[in-house]
Amino acid sequence: MTSALAAPPVAHPVAEAYARLSAVFPGLQVTTWGEAPPVGDGWVTAAGLAAGGEALDAFLAWDDAQILRDYGQRARPDVTASFALHRYAWPACLLITIPWFLHRRVPYLPVGNVSFQRELGRMAVRIDAFGCLPDDPAAALPGARVVADEEALRAEVRSAVAGHLRPVLDGFRTRMRRGPRALWGMATDEIVEGLWYLGHLLGEEPRAVAELERLLPGATAPYVGSAAFRTLTGPRGEALPTRDRASCCMFYTLRPEDTCVTCPRTCDADRITRLTATS
């Protein structure tokens, strides 16, 4: 008598989105875990960063050393903390926005369910629940939270990101010398610039811009401002998409002459010059 073949394991409803993310952006590999998060070898949990203790100290020390190596000078402690928060929050936001963008699924990720290995560009997550639309085949799966429509799902995206980032921002706050408005301005920028960039890599930049404008139209507390996209006209009449950041990345403190292209300090003429130089 032959035994029946075991059924293959069922992929998590957001696994395909994470696979596509890693395929177009190999610098970030995302895996899921079940019983316990990976530990040691450079792994840190988001909960550890939120606690603001030794785990955060070690995380900031890594940035301090990298800034010294890359720029030949030490940054102010608050600038180091700003860089470190960006290096965590940018990929962390993608954990939520990419499944929404690709498959209309919104994973809920409390800080205890996310681990980060920054040197290897790896994140590991445990997803116990996710939001989706009524016509999603995954709506019948355990952990699915079905919402009425696209606008309700956008609200779930905003809520899921805020739920994950709020304790992390609290952990960084005393190191950064920034108030709540500035911190949530950073959160706005991480959401927008991460998905904007991945939309470009996926060949769907116009759709990413449109989706982000609907996701963050303004007046969506706790986020500050809107997606803030606008279009400049290049010397040959070409359209050049840009945006105005809601927060300052503090890079000017290291290179005053080299502001970011989306920095409010950068005038439109300079933006056009820089955007056409790379087009």
The DSSP code sequence of 3-62 is PPPPPPPPPPTTHHHHHHHHHH-TT-EEEE-SSS---STT-EEHHHHHHTSHHHHHHHHH
pTM, 2 dp: 0.92
**pLDDT-above-90 percentage for the chain:** 72
What H or E segment, with its residue span, contains residue 208? helix 205-215
Q: Would you write out the chain's pLDDT as a tens digit for each of its 279 residues? A: 334 444 444 568 999 999 999 999 999 999 998 888 888 889 999 999 999 999 999 999 999 999 999 889 999 999 999 999 999 999 999 999 999 999 999 999 999 999 999 999 999 999 999 999 999 999 999 999 999 999 999 999 999 999 999 999 999 999 998 899 999 999 999 999 999 999 999 999 999 999 999 999 999 999 999 999 998 999 999 988 889 888 888 888 888 777 788 888 888 888 888 888 865
Residues of the chain with CATH 1.10.510: 15-227
Q: What pLDDT score was predicted for residue 30? A: 96
In terms of Cβ atoms closer than 10 Å to its own Cβ (0-12, 13-18, 19+), residue 183 is buried
Q: What pLDDT score was predicted for residue 278? A: 61
* CA distances for 40 relative to 37, 78, 116, angstroms: 10, 27, 11
pLDDT in tens, 192-251: 999 999 999 999 999 999 999 999 999 999 999 999 999 899 999 998 888 988 888 888
Distance CA 225, CA 181 (A): 10
CATH topology classification for 15-227: Transferase(Phosphotransferase); domain 1 (1.10.510)
Of the candidates 215, 240, 239, the residue with the CA atom closest to the CA atom of residue 227? 215
Q: What pLDDT score was predicted for residue 279? A: 54
What SS3 string covers 67-133?
Answer: HHHHHCCCCCHHHHHHHHHHHHHHHHHHHHHHHHHHHCCEECCCHHHEEEECCCCEEEECCCCEEEC
Please report where in the chains the tokens 């005038």 appear, as a residue.
267
